[in-house]
Amino acid sequence: MRPRRIEEKRTIRTALWGILVFAAAWLAEWLIPLQGTDPRVFLTIYILLGSCCTAASFAIFSQGWLLFSHKLSRYRLYTAALFLCVAVFDLLQTLCLMGVPLLGTGMNESDALWLSLLSKALLTAGVFYIYSLKDFMVHISHKSAVFSVTAVATAMAVAVFIGWRRELPQLVVDGQLSPVVRYAVLLIGLAALGGVASIVYRGRKERAPSLLIIIRALLYVAIGQALMMSADSMYEIGFLLGSLSSGMSYYLLLKGVYRLTIEDPFREQQRMEAKMNFLAFHDDLTGLPNKRRLTEQLGKLMMERNSGKTGVVVFNINRFKNINDSLGHQAGDRLLQLVGDRLKRNTLPKEELFSMGGDEFALIMPSLADVETAIRRIRSLMEMFEEPLTIDDGDYHITLCAGVAVYPEDGDTAAQLVQHADTAVHHAKDYGLDVRHFVPSMQRKAKERLKLENDLRKALERREFYLEYQPLVSLETGEIVGMEALLRWKHPKRGNVSPQEFIPLAEESGQIVQLGEWVLRTACKQNKAWQDAGYKPICVSINLSMRQFLQPHLADSIGQILQEIGLDPKYVELEITESMTFDKETAFEQLRRLKELGVFISIDDFGTGYSSLHYLKNMPIDRLKIDRSFVNEVMSDHNDAAIVSTIASMAHHLQLKVTAEGVENEEQLRFLKEQRCHEGQGYYFSKPVPPADFEKAFLLH
């Protein structure tokens, strides 16, 4: 709100300044006698002014043509095209004043004045028209067409002017301006004021500060035309001040267009990034850091070698479901806020409180002496709830139970500690205890893991791997628009092995590259076979691993596979994760090479990583896939619902497709439709199925 008020004050000052200057111009005829001044002085000023206006016009054009050219709004594109034409006319006017013969024809002051009037008329009429429209994003392919038409139209206009200029009325006769000039500047001034009125009317409810700069520019044009009307000659102070005022408008237009088309969108992008980062790492209801932040902070503490023992406590509110059902969800939410506030107020300086979602909270206790110390501290916090909580004028007594896990005894990763503490609190809840310390029932199955890794090395040549396909469904039409190829392993003794179990093993051992190539080749062959069978062509999505993505010749390898199979690249979508873009330069270059093949690129599990929107908006990607962890609880967790809504809004802002993973019920589907998600994927539509079942269920019909 503050920048807008500043710009409003400046706009009002501009109008007052114009009135004062207009009055001063009349007085200046007596105070500053310029009749005897050498006309070459005026010409020099006009030439310098014309050069500045030409440079400003080309700068405005360059903003639309060169900077961030892959993301264009209608305001930005049309303004850039307009000022390409204005720049040409201003350049011709300046050359004309300098006495440069154009195409072998001699130009005079009247021609220069015609060019100036045409330039200002085009500027005011163009700005009036463009900013009376509604702004929206346009496709990059629209740029070349608009600038091509503008270039041709400008060239034709210049040719017509040069060819027919002798038929035009002379605007300077015996050193005096003809009445045509006054009529022309009057119309230009009225057009400028019309532009002001149009922008004010369209922004009567909410007006961007950058548009107020455009208004100031138009006011300077109008002031300039009013000053010119007071002059009888180009060599009077009124005409000079009018030209300077009009020239000032170019600077303001340059500033306003920059603010409107580059700075404002960038600031909005930063605001969205900050909002999304907050939502990703904080609970929307209590405002506390969430489970993702807990894992991150815990990981940092565990990396500090001198931090000693670190405890993780998970608190659970006893009988919360009964309270929520009897008092209502609004009262339940208020209860969670009050519990979070009370725990927060009683934490020690080194401790940090987190929301785990639902009715659970977590506490990090650094520098613990032993488990007994942690348990005493937990019980002291529980005593804080002997005082009732007040909700809607009623007092309610609640109790908590807690589970604790201590690093390094109870786990060597942050995720393990949190999981073990959560296991302990549920054990305490089940047995009616107040606090329970995690006790592992058995050692890790290290030998079994090693055996599985050895079996993994032989599985590919034994043909134990196979693919299943899960459909991607258009939420608007309900049609199948794509499919994701998912790797499966049927172990001869263990049966089906979970991908969550063998994929990390393949990553660690390096087998993922060979395995990933097999998936790509097999999925593309299957898609091509279905197309050859006469089924409607659809896109197949294939996940790339980190190791695959970092392969220097990945694009060449994929291109060769597609060429061998004969599958059009537009029917292939490669899925990467946010973590693969940490090295920005490497990621950009790899993505650029992949896009040159003609394949589509999507970011899978979006929202769980650390993508900067500043980089994301410049990435050559086509789709964001919202992680299933957000979609699962979208109807019960306000935080997840807010995150999904923000991601969908951001994707539309960046002109990206957005797909929601993990859709399992009608309520989730309805919510996702409201957020304008393009596609959905999940068990609501179909679980992953073998090729024959996919063909029968989704291709035959």
Average pLDDT for the chain? 83
Characterize the bridge pairing of strands 465-474 and 435-437: unpaired
Greater confidence (148 vs 32) lies with: 148
Greater confidence (354 vs 93) lies with: 354
Nearest-CA neighbor of 295 among 441, 172, 380, 415? 415
pTM: 0.47
Give 275's pLDDT tier (boundaries 50, 70, 90): confident
pLDDT tens string 620-661: 889 999 888 888 888 888 888 888 888 888 888 888 899 999
Instruction: Using the predicted structure, report yes or no on whether residue 329 has a pLDDT greater than 50.
Output: yes
Instruction: Using the predicted structure, report yes or no on whether residue 614 has a pLDDT greater than 80.
Output: no
Average pLDDT over residues 60-76: 72
Give 574's pLDDT tier (boundaries 50, 70, 90): very high
434 secondary structure, DSSP code = S
CATH class for the domain made up of 291-437: alpha beta
Residue 276's CB is within 10 A of a number of other CB atoms, namely 19
Greater confidence (540 vs 396) lies with: 540
Average pLDDT over residues 44-68: 84
- 606: which strand partners? 626
| Distance, CA of 246 to chain centre | 37
Superfamily of domain 468-699: EAL domain (3.20.20.450)
385 secondary structure, DSSP code = G
Highest mean pLDDT among 206-215, 602-611, 677-686 belongs to 677-686
Characterize the bridge pairing of strands 400-407 and 309-317: antiparallel
Instruction: Using the predicted structure, report yes or no on whether residue 315 has a pLDDT greater than 50.
Output: yes
| Strands annotated E in 475-562 | 480-491, 495-497, 539-543
Instruction: Using the predicted structure, report yes or no on whether residue 9 has a pLDDT greater than 80.
Output: no
Q: Which two tokens stand for residue 447?
A: 């030998």
Residue 645's CB is within 10 A of a number of other CB atoms, namely 17
CA distance 540 to 561: 14
CATH of domain 2-275: 1.20.1070
Instruction: Using the predicted structure, report yes or no on whether residue 579 has a pLDDT greater than 90.
Output: no
Characterize the bridge pairing of strands 480-491 and 495-497: antiparallel
Characterize the bridge pairing of strands 539-543 and 572-577: parallel
| Distance, CA of 226 to chain centre | 44
Nearest-CA neighbor of 483 among 532, 529, 542, 566? 542
Instruction: Using the predicted structure, report yes or no on whether residue 69 has a pLDDT greater than 60.
Output: no
Nearest-CA neighbor of 661 among 582, 594, 598, 577? 577
pLDDT tens string 234-256: 888 778 888 888 888 888 888 87
Give 443's pLDDT tier (boundaries 50, 70, 90): very low
**Which residue shows structure tokens 């939420």?**
475
CA distance 556 to 533: 28
Nearest-CA neighbor of 194 among 125, 256, 93, 145? 125
Average pLDDT over residues 160-167: 83
Greater confidence (144 vs 664) lies with: 664
Q: How confident is the model at residue 445, as a pLDDT?
A: 43
Residues 6+ apart with CB under 8 A from 517: 548, 557, 561
Q: How confident is the model at residue 21, as a pLDDT?
A: 55
Highest mean pLDDT among 105-114, 337-346, 403-412 belongs to 337-346
Give 687's pLDDT tier (boundaries 50, 70, 90): very high
Residues 6+ apart with CB under 8 A from 77: 64, 138, 142, 143, 146
- 577: which strand partners? 604
Burial class of 185 by CB neighbour count within 10 A (0 to 12, 13 to 18, 19+): buried
Query: Would you kindly state where each structural domain of the chain is located, as residue ranges?
Result: 2-275, 291-437, 468-699
CB 403 within 8 A of CB 426: yes
Give 444's pLDDT tier (boundaries 50, 70, 90): very low
Which residue stretches of 546-636 are H helix? 546-549, 554-565, 584-597, 613-616, 628-632
Q: How confident is the model at residue 263, as a pLDDT?
A: 75
DSSP string, 227-266: HHHT-SSTTSHHHHHHHHHHHHHHHHHHHHHHIIIIIHHH
Crossing angle of the two packed helices 291-303 and 414-430, in degrees rounded to 10: 120
SS (H, E, C) 617-647: CCCCCCEEEECHHHHHCCCCCHHHHHHHHHH
